[in-house]
Structure 1
Amino acid sequence: MQPIRSLRALALLIPATLIACSPGDGGPGEVAGDPEFGGTAIVGVMADFQAFNPVVNTAILTDEVMKHMLFTPLVQYDDGLEIQPHLAESWDLDDAGVTFRLRQDVRWHDGPPVTAEDVKFTFDLAKSEESASLLGSAYLTMVQTATVLDPYTIRFDFVAPHAQPLDAFWWPPLPRHLLQGVGPAELAQAEFNANPVGSGPFRFVSWERGQRLTLEANTEYPEALGGRPYLDRVVFRVIPEATTMLTELLSGAADLIGWTLLPDQAQQLMGQSGIDVRHFPSREFTYIGLNNERAQFRDAETRRALAMSIDRQQIINALLHDFASPGSGMIPEWSPMDPGLDPVPHDPAAARQLLAQAGWQAGPDGTLMRQGQPLTFTMLVNAANRTHQDIATVIQQQLQQVGVSIEIRTVEFQTMLREHRARNYDAVISNWTLDTFKVDPTPLFSCEQARAPQSANRAGYCNPRADQLMQQGLRSTDGGQGERLWGEFSQILQQDQPIIFLHWSDDLGAVGPRLQNVETDIRSKLVNAREWWIPADRRR
């Protein structure tokens, strides 16, 4: 059996831009000396938070705050992307399942210890169809049951042997004693989601929706997990206007920005005194979501022709300042399972031929028609994301050249998300962030998720052969076989184009001169928030 390539080796694939920005290299605002306790850091974010509940949350920033600040996940990744003990201090792994032994010194912020009952409670909620949990569909598809063996030992049994099994447990448990009266169907509306009690290095203080989130140091966090944070508080300020976000960093009113730092802003910040700009590979790709249930998108030929009409490289060069790479599918270049496919080529002439084969002919005004229906659709775009709006405008112009008419509709993000999840849309420009470093496309593309309401398969895509390959790929523990399976799957996906892959984004961020020892890498910009500090003479 061929071994699967170590994720530690993936660290070698990360460009030098990440290494050059590491805290030990002396960024523009870095000072010498030992870390000091105290101070408040201000973090600027463009969009508000969602639900501080790992079972029902779907927003990446909220997820990062939960995993690295508010809660204590079962496992964490180190800087080589290897799984390390965290709440689970050790485990026994076999083909049938895994037994975790939990630390006994992690406590909920209201006092009780975190136990195996909390872990099982969270697992059961995530696996319930009524909760419509992304945690259940993205992490736990290959985990069948959980059994509490004693207060600090829990056994998970697998559906079948499979690759990278420990990646399924990068999530924190919820407090059973506070939520046991809330059913799975009501969990998304639980008061807890806006006033959480966590178990991590920071405690929740307050959340003023649309304004700010305030966290404070947990002075009782176990020393074995790093102890109390250096900072007294971290305040996340919601700054929806991009120019204001930039001004806040340059004026010193914000210490860290990057959710979302736009490519043109990063370009402007390069060389600014005291500002350390970070860019590194991300787990996020940008795509055009297509509702495959709409008449104009039901056939793969039309969808593939649309993809061939888009000049990705022009978008990357002109709008993203080269802080991205063209997307060929949902397996990134840094993955050991990368199939090495070239992106769909920009070829408008071939796109026109493919559209003609699919039955589309030019109407009186030049717009393509099929059976009396025009090839027109409405594209939803996040009103707070200027880059996506610019991309939509360029795509609108490019598709017009082949006879396709698009109406761009900018909407508030949560409204866009609701319509996308309900499949009440034609097309949408969106991002997808891989929840783990494991290859698992089933949330987006499995037939089971296509049949599930409010699922992540918002295209409604179902291809039985692709389904079979996904299941075989997930269960393969042979590295060579896995590469072949995921390669064939990726080729089918590229032919079918259920969504149009645009690009894999670089993750962008910028750190001001006050904040020290900020690590930013493919895991998160918050990965070592517990170790951030501010020199006494730079505090407000």
Structure 2
Amino acid sequence: MKARSFPLLALALLAACGDGADARRTAGGGAADGPEVPEAQRFGGTGVVALGADITDMNPLTSADNNANNIQSFVLFTPVVALNEKLEPVPALARSWELNADSTELTFHLRNDIRWQDGRKTTAYDLKLAYDLAREKETGYPNSSFWTYYGDAAAPDSFTFRVRLRPHAEYMDPWRTFFAVPSHIFKDAKPAELRSHPFNTQRPVGNGPFRFVSRAPGQNWVFAANPDYPAELGGRPYLDRLIVRVIPEAATRLTELLNGTVDYYVQVTPEQLPQLEASRNARLVTFRNRSYAMVVWNQKREMFQDARVRRALTMAINKRGIIDGILRGHGEVAHSSIPNIYWMADSTAGRGIADYDPARAAALLDSAGWTDRNRDGVRENAQGKPFRFTLKTNTGNRERADLTEVIQSDLAKVGVDARIQIVEFGTLISQLNNVRERPFEAVVMGWVSEFKIDDENLFSCRRLDEPYQWPQYCNPRTTALLDTLPRIVDREQARPLWREYQRLIAQDQPYTFLYFQERLEGVSNRMRNVHPDARGDLVGISKWYLLPNGRARQGGGG
């Protein structure tokens, strides 16, 4: 049987982003990158990245937040493959790969010069262990649907990894965000105990361009340049050290960016744009992102089990007003989980189903049995239970706090009483992922779509007892479509089924999809070569550098 070797097949490329990932623009009082600095002068200094919440788990097998994945992908680990600016897979841990003639076996040939930071070589046995653990249900690997069409794997030698699969579209996509783990650390680990492993928060051992140095919980993560990182993968980073600081208050993050103690502020809040754009010390970098904001309705709670009620709640929320008011126009209305920049997106999916219409929202609530029976301004059901619930979101995110207040106000106008509760980010994620209890009613949250759209983890009936099935939503037809769509390689054949899927989601509203947001990042003018895009906030970080005359700090950054 003849094998064939080729790049990614039928990747769900962005449809409207020019050459793919590069959709950024720069604004602000300072220049973007300015004159080139000779490479020999780029090495040195400490870069500081500011986040609004701590990363509570650095283990790629168990972590479940986007900031952790950014650091795993571009700082601490080496993924099996990477994506270039055209969103094509390129070698990383795997120097090459091949699919056999009948598309049932994928073979990766790994590099032999990537080492864990404790000195041991990264091997196919490490990758096989990570793969096997990720497929164990007790591990709780968040992206378990990655492996729906994959089977058993083998490591026939130290640098060959082979895995069985059923033919399907976009089969390479999981490997851009999947990592080996050190088998000498995890070989005796039990899947059910991985979430509490010391590796996660105390001593992660990576094999990427930076090495873990230390962590102060709630304060920072510190990394140092890996001097032995292979030249073919970029070699030693320009920065000597990288500090990821936790700064809960957005105003403080901006102040520190403007005064030079922070170099990169992830996710600037829209109300800060005028101040940032007027600064001569920092600049704004934006790009079209893969993320959306939504309200998760927990269907374990009786009040959210009726799709009419969920549609009514959506119709009561003024999404365009939110985009214009809170985001200052940096967003697009969302009606499904598929960003408008993807080829299969149907911009009409929510038309007539989930449009802003408070009058129709009120009528739907009436038809579902929720009326204001005692004239107190809050609807009750037939048993007299008021339509009152707790609406949670996370600390350290002004945008979500503002968003939650607007939603509260909009819902009050149709007789629904949402009580806001702000929860520490790690605690909220734990509540969302608590498969036994799901101890929440409704949550304002964000989600970052994969390049391969596969919502099985989010909405399949079979995933109700897995971490990401937050809404506890089950529609057999939706599940059937989620089973079918990944197997269709031909886009024209898949398109009508994608359209049906999006309209079903708009009809059922497991989430209220609010908007797709343009990503806003603040960058110090002393930091150069910073070009985030749809691949992630920290893409290319090994090539970020500080201007030679800008490496002295005013204090606080390291």
- What is the TM-score of this pair, normalised by structure 2? 0.91
In the alignment, what sits opposite 1:516? 528
Contact 1:50 1:58 in 2 (8 A): no
Q: State the shift of 1:487 in Å.
A: 1.1
Partners of 1:491 and 1:468 in 2: CA distance: 14
1:535 paired residue among 519, 532, 547: 547
Provide the residue aligned with 1:105 in structure 2: 113
Q: CA shift at 1:253, angstroms?
A: 0.8
- Map of 1:229 onto structure 2: 237
Greater shift after overlay, 219-228 or 90-99? 90-99
Question: 1:8 deviation in Å?
Answer: 7.2
Q: Residue 30 of structure 1 corresponds to which residue in structure 2?
A: 34
CA distance in 2, matches of 1:141, 1:232: 41
Give deviations 1:146-196, integer Å, cap 9, x for gaps. Answer: 1112211111111x2111100021211100011112111000100111211
- Amino acid in the other structure paired with 2:452: K
Contact 2:263 / 2:524 at 8 angstroms: preserved in 1? yes
Partner of 2:327: 320
Residue 252 of structure 1 corresponds to 260
Q: 1:395 to 1:85 in 2, by over 3 A?
A: same
Higher mean C-alpha deviation, range 412-421 or range 347-356: 412-421
Residue in 2 that maps onto 1:361: 371
Residue 308 of structure 1: which of 305, 315, 337 is its match?
315
**Quick one: distance in 1 between partners of 2:333 and 2:296?**
16
RMSD: 1.8
Aligned residue for 2:479? Answer: 467
1:56-71 equivalence runs, <5 A: 56-71=62-77
Measured in 2, the distance between the counterparts of 1:348 and 1:13 equals: 40
- SS of residue paired to 1:276: strand
One-letter code aligned to 2:213: V
* Residues 349, 506 of structure 2: 8 Å contact kept: no
Matched, 1:411 2:423: yes
Work out whether residues 5 and 336 of structure 1, in 8 Å CA contact, stay in contact via their aligned partners in 2. no
Correspondences of 1:376-525 after superposition (within 5 Å): 376-422=388-434, 423-434=438-449, 436-450=450-464, 452-453=465-466, 455-525=467-537
State the AA in 2 paired with 1:30: G
Report matched runs for 1:59-458 at 5 Å: 59-94=65-100, 95-137=103-145, 139-158=146-165, 160-170=166-176, 171-194=178-201, 195-258=203-266, 260-343=267-350, 344-364=354-374, 365-372=376-383, 373-422=385-434, 423-434=438-449, 436-450=450-464, 452-453=465-466, 455-458=467-470
CA deviation string 1:75-102 (max 9, x = no partner): 1111111111211111112421311111
1:21 matched to 2:31: no
Structure 1 or 2: more helix by fraction:
1
1:266–1:509 contact (8 Å) kept in structure 2 = no
Question: What's the secondary structure of 2:152's corresponding residue?
Answer: strand
**Which one-letter code corresponds to 1:471 in the other structure?**
D
Is contact 1:8-1:80 (8 Å) kept? no
Q: Deviations over 1:89-117 (max 9, x none)?
A: 11112421311111111111111111111
Number of equivalences = 528
> Helix, strand or coil: the match of 2:463?
helix
1:5/1:479 contact within 8 Å kept: no
For 2:390 and 2:180, how far apart are their aligned partners in 1? Answer: 40
Report deviation, 1:274.
Answer: 3.1
Counterpart contact for 1:8–1:82, Cα < 8 Å: no
How much does 1:535 deviate?
2.5
CA deviations on 1:467-499 (whole Å, 9 max, x unpaired) are 000110011111112212111111111000011
Question: 1:298 & 1:166 partners in 2: Cα distance?
Answer: 37
Look up the equivalent residue of 2:49 and give its one-letter code: V
Are the structure 2 counterparts of residues 354 and 155 from structure 1 closer, same or farther at C-alpha, using a change threshold of 3 Å?
A: same
Unaligned 5+ segments in structure 1 are none
Amino acid at match of 1:253: T
How far did residue 411 of structure 1 move?
1.6
- CA drift at 1:4: 4.6
Larger mean Cα displacement after TM superposition, 297-306 or 146-155: 146-155
For structure 2, the residue ranges without an aligned partner over 5 or more in a row are: 1-8, 553-558
Q: Secondary structure, in 3 states, of the residue corresponding to 2:427?
A: helix
Q: In 1, distance between residues paired with 2:14 and 2:388?
A: 47
Report the alpha carbon displacement of residue 15 of structure 1 after superposing the two structures with TM.
Answer: 10
Deviation at 1:334, TM superposition (A): 1.5
Code of the residue aligned with 1:131 in structure 2: it is: T
How far off its partner does 1:517 sit? Answer: 0.8
SS in structure 2 of the partner of residue 336 of structure 1: coil
What amino acid does structure 2 have at the position aligned with 1:147? A
What TM-score do you get using the length of structure 1 for normalisation?
0.94
Give distance in 1, aligned partners of 2:536 and 2:292.
15
Name the CA shift for 1:180/1:10 in 2 (closer, same or farther; >3 Å): farther
Query: Does 1:54 pair with 2:60?
Result: yes
Deviations 1:16-54 (A, max 9, x none): 9x34339xxx93463432132111111111111121111
Work out the CA distance in 1 between the residues paired with 2:511 and 2:237: 42
Deviations 1:420-466 (CA, angstroms, capped at 9, x unpaired): 222111111011112x300100111011111x15x200111111100
Give distance in 2, aligned partners of 1:62 and 1:441.
21
Aligned partner letter, 1:293: K
The 2-side partners of 1:132 and 1:413 are apart by 19
Structure 1 pair 126/385, CA: closer, same or farther in 2 (3 Å)?
same
> Is the 2:379–2:416 Cα contact (8 Å) retained in structure 1?
yes
